[in-house]
Amino acid sequence: MRLVFAGTPEVAVPALDALLASDKHEVVAVVTRPDGTAGRGRKLVASPVARRAEEAGIEVLKPAKPSDPEFLARLTELAPDCCPVVAYGALLRPGALEIPEHGWVNLHFSLLPAWRGAAPVQHAVLAGDEVTGASTFLIEQGLDSGPVFGVVTEEIRPTDTSGDLLTRLSHSGARLLAATMDGIADGSLHAVPQPLDGVTLAPKINPEDARIEWTHPALRVDRLVRGCAPAPGAWTVFRGERLKVSGPVTLHPGAAELAPGELAVGKNSVRVGTGSHEIELGEVQPQGKKPMRAADWARGVRIESGERLGE
């Protein structure tokens, strides 16, 4: 098939690579978000997908909105049979959805209908799910509600951050998307409507959602730290300033000598009380500084007996 690929961040690049490597399809163009500012100089930078497409010599389209008449006219000229999508980041309207014969097929990083929305991997980790996966589905006007072509599953490991899990899913999902294109092309694959039961939503995680409440159980704190890594990053407050808890924490079942948020500093460890048992901090990032080992941070600030996080 003739394909126009839509995607923006680094997580979409493995899927683009898988389609470029296929001898069954031709990627004739890529659609991505407009260049954004990055770095201290706030210079305009092309998206990872745009950069990869340019390396491959493929036309790159960067409409401000996918409903722009100029973009729709160019998409019509390209005459794609199908438009595979991975984390494109813009809402597709009927004018665009109707152009390819086989529609727009999205790779979504959950086992639909679970975790529809912008942050499925983060919510799966936050909820303590043991298994997640990726789904390919036909985009329609509803939020991730279209019929599903195929799925792949992935175990969530006890130490997984959202970043770890998303990296694995980006590669297994890439293979799934390529296989979905093959099945659509030869007529062997047909989308199946999602079940009505089991729908859960995964809205974007905002920085305020990532604030650690030390009165919560240790397991919930652990999931928040892992689920918000690398972004937006779990955080707390120490001496009136924000402190990001950017590394893994270690649970210490049975130990409950510290009050919620109370700190205890050892020679090479920093423990914190929670609503259940204590945890040990791995890496922290003080405001305006680089990440560092929690023990190094504690030596630098000279924590006093009884001091707490979160106050």
Annotated binding-site ranges: 110-113
Q: Which of 100, 107, 35, 32 is nearest to 66 (CA)?
A: 32
Q: Is cis: bond before 80, omega within 30 of 0? A: no
36 Cβ neighbours under 8 A, 6+ residues apart: 44, 45, 47
Q: How many residues are listed for the chain in this entry? A: 311
Residue-wise burial string across 114-132, b where 16 or more C-beta atoms lie within 10 A, e elsewhere: bbbbbbbbbbbbbeebeeb
Contact 104, 6 (CB under 8 A): yes
Q: What is the CA radius of gyration of the chain?
A: 22
Q: Using CA atoms, how far apart are residues 192 and 138, in angstroms rounded to an integer? A: 10
Point out the annotated binding site for (6S)-5,6,7,8-tetrahydrofolate: 110-113
